[in-house]
Chains A and B, each alone.
Chain A
Amino acid sequence: VDLADIIVKDTEGRDVRLGDFWRDRPAALVFVRHYG
């Protein structure tokens, strides 16, 4: 599985393809343990 193809959700519940974030510029992804 390619990380770019993984679909996540934005805060409104809409699908977002992760790879779209680094399509035309680098992206720093911070994976948080949990909220709070």
Chain B
Amino acid sequence: LRPQAEDFVKAGGKLVVVGNGWPAMAKSWAEHVGFPPSVAVVTDPSRKAYDVAGMKRSVGLTLLNPRSMLRWMRARRRGFRQGRTAGDAWQQGGALVVRPGGKVTFRYVSLGPGDHVPPQQLVAALTRAA
């Protein structure tokens, strides 16, 4: 997401990255990734926002998912290595676009590790909402 971070500003919106560890973990991770100041990094240790946003939490989706295994093998082949997990290992992610007033105009629910919304798709959804 970091290379596209400014595209969210150009689209007329705000990129908010929500994690689920403690604030110190969020801070260390945000510094490591190097997000520009336009990006808000927040954390939701109770995972209440994940729940209300409709994100999933499952051991099965994380470990027993053949598509996740394939993505993991592909990522490993390309030289990507995951560092130590900081946060809830079973929580799945996703994305939303929310307009002023609270209407959700885009939702992507991740079904396992490596299942991410392409950043361009999210920028396009934000552009449509602006």
Contacts and interface: CB of A to CB of B under 8 A. Distances in A.
Interface of A: 1-4, 6, 8-13, 16, 18-19, 21-36
Given A25-B12, A29-B95, A35-B29, A8 B100 contact: no
Interface of B: 1, 8, 12-21, 23-30, 40-45, 48-50, 52-53, 55, 82-89, 91-100, 102, 104-106, 110, 113, 117, 122-123, 125-126, 129-130
Nearest to B130: A26
A11 B97 contact: no
Given A10-B42, A28-B126, A30-B18, A36 B29 contact: yes
B95 A28 contact: yes
B98 A3 contact: yes
